[in-house]
Every structure is written in structure tokens, then in C-alpha cells.
């Protein structure tokens, strides 16, 4: 078994070969009849419908966050060529993940995630694409930096002007444990519209990660290689619109054991922006804009530190809809 130790190994690169310890399958969708309230609040009624879908796995769910907004395009993507946005930058490559706290010592069997409910839920380039899951130990005490926009001030960026929309987390380190890579996403579009579809990321023994009680960890999911239209979204609940003061544990927080994370491009936040309908003709500026939006190559791709910060949106008050299953 893979044991999480106090001294952690360097991250392994998935570029060499597929990892037989990782497999991805589609579980399908919830049966009909669930209201938006049950979806967004993650009610017992939603759990009962999900139990039917998970079958025997439901009894081994050890960590869960059921709530999900039914809009938005919170995307995992790695596109080539890069797509220009007239706000002045290329759409950034992005990995997404979640911090969680182990309630006991356990060995991971699977992580279950769900696609989103909007038009980017599953683009053609995601079908049969190789993906990875990277694990971290999260050390330190999280502190919210309000980015100099306290309650009553407008956020500098984000999906709204609410003061929380540009907050980010400091005070923690993400220490790499291992990368599992090479499994292919199923072609969800072949099953229908691909929206709100559950995906199971399974980890085979003896390499399945082990986690220790009361420690914080994180997983991060992304594509191994870029390609056209390589994008899919993850269902989540985002409480950045709350008027409350910054907090990771208030009544609006859906999962007190962690927060969502991302890795975007080369990590520069906010990105350099040169608003225009087309990319700049100056090659030195163009290369800088491309570099900030694409992932680094080689081992640097997986050595880059994740964060709750991002542009235009942050993940500080976001939690993925996720379920962790123990062996």
C-alpha cells in the first residue's frame, strides 16, 4: 500500500507511461424528480437518489459534499491552440481539485465527481482523453486574504462585485505526494448530453493512497496533454456571493473540511491583459501571453503549486460535489 508519510516523495511524472492503478468510468445520472432546492442544498432526498446510483459503493462513502449549483462552467481544460478572449488574454489551461480532511485512517478506493450543467459540460476534445489525479498533503493553517476588498467594497474581479469574489487562501503549503495518470475519460457525449453525469476515479491496490486521521489532503484533476476543445466541467457549490464576512466555517460553507483548488497556466495571477479583438502582433508580448495561459512542460507541469486564487474566479468559497470511497 502507498502510505502517506511525514517525509513525502517527489511527485512522479505521468509522461512516461499510463498508470494501471487509475481507471475512470461513467456512473450515469441521477434518476429524475429531484428539485433544484435538493440539488443546491444537498438534501437527504438527493443522497437517497445517489445511493441508488452508487449501489454497494454508497456504504463506503467516507467523505461527501452533496450540494451543487445548477449553472456555471467551472472547467478543467487544456486546449491547443489557445483560445483568445477579447478581455485581453488567452483562455487559461486549468486543473481543478478539492482539499479534504481525513476523518480516520483509510485507504482510498475511489473519488466520485460530477460534470456541470452548462454548455461546456463535456466538449469533444475531452472524449477518450488521458487524465491524471495528483495528491497533496496540505500543511499549515488556512487564512483568508480579502485582497483589500472587505465587506462593503467591490471585488477587483470575479463573477460579481461581491467582496468575497476575489478572496484567496494563504497560510498553507501543498506538498506533492503522487501523480496517477494515463486513464482515459469515457466519451460521455455518446451517452447523451453529458451534463450532471457522475464519474468514478478508481485507484487499484497496492498503490492506492492511504490517508491519516485529522490530516488535510488535496486531489487535483487535469488533462495530460492539450488538444482542441479539451474541456469538461465539474459540478460544485460556490458561496462567494454570500454577503457574510470571510470565513471557511460559517453557516454558508458547505464543507468545513476543505475548499476547492486550481492550477492555471504558469500561475501568474492576475494575468497580463491587453484588451483587443485579436492577440497582439508583437511577438515578445504574444509569447508572454501564451506562456501565462499554457501549462509548463515536463516535470514543472506537476511541480506547480495549486491555489484557491484564480482569474477571473477564485475557489476560496467553492467546494466540488465529491464523494470519497474507502476500501
- Mean pLDDT in residue range 60-85: 97
Lowest mean pLDDT among 17-21, 232-236, 309-313, 319-323: 17-21
**pLDDT beyond 60 at 14:** no
Q: Show the 3-state SS of the chain.
A: CEECCCCCCCCCCCCCCCCCCEEEEEEECCCCCCCHHHHHHCCHHHHHHHHHHHHHHHHHEEEEECCCCCCCCCEEECCCCCCEECCCEECCCEEEEEEEECCCCEEEEEEEEECCCCCCCECHHHCCCEEEEEEEEEEEEEEEECCCCCCCCCCCCCCCCCHHHHCEEEEEEEEEEEEEEEEECCCHHHHCCCCCCEEEEEECCCCCEEECCCCEEEEEEEECCCCCCCEEECCEEECCCCCCCCCCCCCCCCCCCCCEEEEECCCCCCCCCCCCCCCCCCHHHHHHHHHHHCCCCCCHHHHCCCECCCCCCCCCCEEECEEEEEC
The count of residues in the chain is 327
State whether the Cα torsion 36-41-42-48 is positive or negative.
Answer: negative
Nearest CA to 42 among 25, 63, 66? Answer: 66
Q: Are 260 and 308 in contact, with CB atoms under 8 Å apart? A: yes
Confidence at residue 319, expressed as pLDDT on a 0 to 100 scale: 98
- Mean pLDDT in residue range 23-50: 96
Cβ-in-10-Å burial (0-12, 13-18, 19+) of 254 comes to buried
pLDDT band at 182 (very low <50, low <70, confident <90, very high): confident
Count the Cβ atoms, other than its own, within 10 Å of residue 5.
11
Written as nine digits, the cell of 114 is: 460530477
Say what percent of the chain tops pLDDT 90: 91
pLDDT band at 18 (very low <50, low <70, confident <90, very high): low
- Mean pLDDT in residue range 7-27: 62
Confidence at residue 10, expressed as pLDDT on a 0 to 100 scale: 36
- Sequence-ordered list of residues with C-beta below 8 angstroms from that of 132, at least 6 positions apart, any chain: 14, 22, 179, 180, 181, 182, 221, 222, 223, 224, 302
Lowest mean pLDDT among 14-23, 72-81, 109-118: 14-23
- Mean pLDDT in residue range 155-180: 96
**pLDDT beyond 80 at 15:** no
Amino acid at each position: 500500500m502507498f502510505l502517506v508519510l511525514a517525509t513525502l516523495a517527489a511527485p512522479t511524472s505521468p509522461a512516461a507511461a499510463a498508470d494501471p492503478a487509475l481507471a475512470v468510468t461513467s456512473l450515469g445520472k441521477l434518476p429524475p424528480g429531484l428539485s433544484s432546492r435538493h440539488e443546491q442544498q444537498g438534501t437527504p432526498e438527493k443522497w437517497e437518489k445517489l445511493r441508488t446510483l452508487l449501489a454497494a459503493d454508497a456504504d463506503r462513502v467516507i467523505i461527501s459534499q452533496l450540494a451543487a449549483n445548477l449553472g456555471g462552467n467551472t472547467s478543467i481544460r487544456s486546449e491547443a491552440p489557445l483560445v483568445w478572449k477579447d478581455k485581453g488574454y488567452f483562455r487559461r489551461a486549468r486543473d481543478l481539485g478539492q482539499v479534504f480532511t481525513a476523518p480516520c485512517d483509510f485507504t482510498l478506493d475511489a473519488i466520485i465527481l460530477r460534470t456541470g450543467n452548462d454548455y461546456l459540460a463535456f466538449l469533444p476534445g475531452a472524449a477518450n482523453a488521458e487524465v491524471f489525479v495528483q495528491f497533496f498533503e496540505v500543511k499549515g493553517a488556512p487564512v483568508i486574504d480579502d485582497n483589500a476588498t472587505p465587506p462593503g467594497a467591490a471585488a477587483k474581479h470575479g463573477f460579481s462585485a461581491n467582496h468575497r469574489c476575489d478572496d484567496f487562501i494563504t497560510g498553507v503549503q501543498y506538498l506533492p505526494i503522487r501523480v496517477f495518470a494515463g486513464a482515459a475519460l469515457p466519451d460521455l457525449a455518446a451517452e447523451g448530453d453529458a451534463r450532471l453525469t457522475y464519474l468514478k476515479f478508481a485507484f487499484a491496490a497496492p498503490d492506492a493512497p492511504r490517508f491519516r486521521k485529522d490530516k488535510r489532503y488535496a486531489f487535483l484533476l487535469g488533462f495530460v496533454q492539450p488538444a482542441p476543445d479539451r474541456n469538461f466541467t465539474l459540478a460544485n457549490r460556490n458561496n462567494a456571493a454570500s454577503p457574510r464576512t470571510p470565513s471557511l466555517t460559517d453557516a454558508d460553507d458547505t464543507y468545513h473540511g476543505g475548499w476547492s483548488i486550481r492550477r492555471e497556466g504558469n500561475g501568474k495571477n492576475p494575468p497580463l491583459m491587453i484588451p483587443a479583438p485579436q492577440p497582439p502582433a508583437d511577438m515578445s508580448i504574444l509569447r508572454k501571453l501564451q506562456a501565462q495561459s499554457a501549462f509548463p512542460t515536463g516535470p514543472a507541469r506537476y511541480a506547480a503549486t495549486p491555489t484557491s486564487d484564480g482569474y477571473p474566479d477564485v475557489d476560496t468559497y467553492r467546494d466540488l460535489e465529491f464523494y470519497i470511497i474507502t476500501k
